[in-house]
Amino acid sequence: MSFLYDAAAEQLWSTAVEKEAELKETKAKLEESFDCEQQRLLKSCRQHMQEERSELLTRVKAREERVSATISHCQRKSELELERRLALLAAQEKSAKEAVRQREQIEQQAQEIRRLQQQLRRSDSEPKLKDVSDMKWRRQVRRTRSSVGERTIRAQSRGSSLTLLEGRSTPSTCSSTPAGDARKRDDTR
């Protein structure tokens, strides 16, 4: 019986060894399959990550391009606005210069008008002065004529008295002299 037990034990032992060898082989196959699956998954993850990375880079580049386009558009817009404002300032400066020039012209015209008004006032006052001076001159002429006329009259009266004494009668000429005429006019006034 022990022989049977030994044979059964040996058989069990050999089946156990076989099972153990099978298990080791299965384990090795499983480990190899696990390693292959792990490598495949790692490769797949890396590839997926690479794709996502390239997609993200593409998105970032597209966003950068949009941002740079927006920035360039804003810069162009600001440059146009700056140019417009500079043109407006230049136009305002030009209109200010024109206004200053017109103001200077107006001031010059005002000075010319004042000068002409002063000349007009002078010319208005000059004839009056001339009239006054003419009147003075006329008075002086009258005085001179009257004094000359008086002398003439005296001389003529002396002459007439002499002629009367002599017996001759001559017509008096004192009324025909300019001084006599002036005296007659003064007397009638």
pLDDT at 59 over 50: yes
118 or 125: which carries more pLDDT confidence?
118
Cα separation values, 149 from 181, 183, 185, 188, Å: 9, 8, 13, 17
At residue 61, the 3 state secondary structure works out as helix
Q: What is the pTM of this model?
A: 0.37
Cα separation values, 99 from 84, 94, 96, 102, Å: 22, 8, 5, 5
pLDDT in tens, 13-23: 888 888 889 88
The pLDDT of 22-47, averaged and rounded, is 91
pLDDT in tens, 96-112: 999 999 999 999 999 99
Q: What percent of the chain stands above pLDDT 90?
A: 42
Q: What is the mean pLDDT of the chain?
A: 78
